[in-house]
Amino acid sequence: MKTTPLILMALLCLNFCYAQDKKNCPKPTKPSQVITAKPGIKPNNSSVNQPYKYDFSGFKSGYQPGYIVTDDAFMKGKTIVVRNYSIIQLFTLALRLQKGNIDTSKEQAIGKDQIVIEVRQPEKLNTLYCYKLVVPFYLTDNFYIIMHQSINEEFPQYTAKMERRDGADVMVIKDKEL
């Protein structure tokens, strides 16, 4: 019986992991790292209570801009990791505007003539960010919708949508009216 030692080893590992003391967990050093929500106010990453998880971070030196979408064979979910993309490029990805709708950054996104920027401070849209989204298997059909929602939550001052102008489809990024 080869399965008995395997099961016994798995149980021992689970018991060992479960019995670990939480003293070794690192605590946030800055008060700004702790997300505390006041009643009626959502934290920046509102995926805290969602089945999907996403995170934004700033520019990471040493990495080329790009992204990759992977299917998780174990959890049957989907993940996207984006490095050093501007807000414009993030919205372009979420609206699936790259050529051929492929899941790799080897092809460039749509041309700049197909992006209309109507914001008061367009230079802020060029700030580079890193982004990661993990979606469980039962939400993979809504993967890019969830991505667009999470970008909207992170940058609530902007709206991005597709419009038809002069017979061509363009992505329009506008300031959100307050």
Residue 131 within any structural domain of the chain:
yes
Residue 79 within any structural domain of the chain:
yes
Cβ pair 98, 108 in contact under 8 A = yes
Residue 75 within any structural domain of the chain:
yes
Q: What residue numbers bound the domain in which 147 lies?
A: 45-109+125-156
Residue 152 within any structural domain of the chain:
yes
Q: Where are the beta strands (DSSP E) in the chain?
A: 53-58, 66-71, 78-86, 115-118, 128-135, 158-165, 168-175
pLDDT of residue 45: 52
Higher pLDDT, 123 or 29: 123
Average pLDDT over residues 82-100: 87
Residue 69 within any structural domain of the chain:
yes
Which of 1-5, 31-35, 142-146, 150-154 shows the lowest per-residue confidence on average (mean pLDDT)? 31-35
Confidence of residue 108 (pLDDT cuts 50, 70, 90): very low
Residue 151 within any structural domain of the chain:
yes
Report the C-alpha gap between 57 and 77 in whole angstroms.
Answer: 22
Average pLDDT over residues 94-123: 71
pLDDT > 90: percent of the chain: 53
Residue 16 has pLDDT above 50, yes or no: no
**Beta strands 115-118; 168-175: pairing state:** parallel
Q: What is the pLDDT of residues 160-178, one digit of tens each?
A: 999 999 888 899 999 987 5
* Mean of all residue pLDDT scores within the chain: 76
Distance of CA 162 to the CA centre of its chain: 20
Sequence-ordered list of residues with C-beta below 8 angstroms from that of 120, at least 6 positions apart, any chain: 175
Residue 8 within any structural domain of the chain:
no
Report the domain count for the chain.
Answer: 1
Residue 1 within any structural domain of the chain:
no
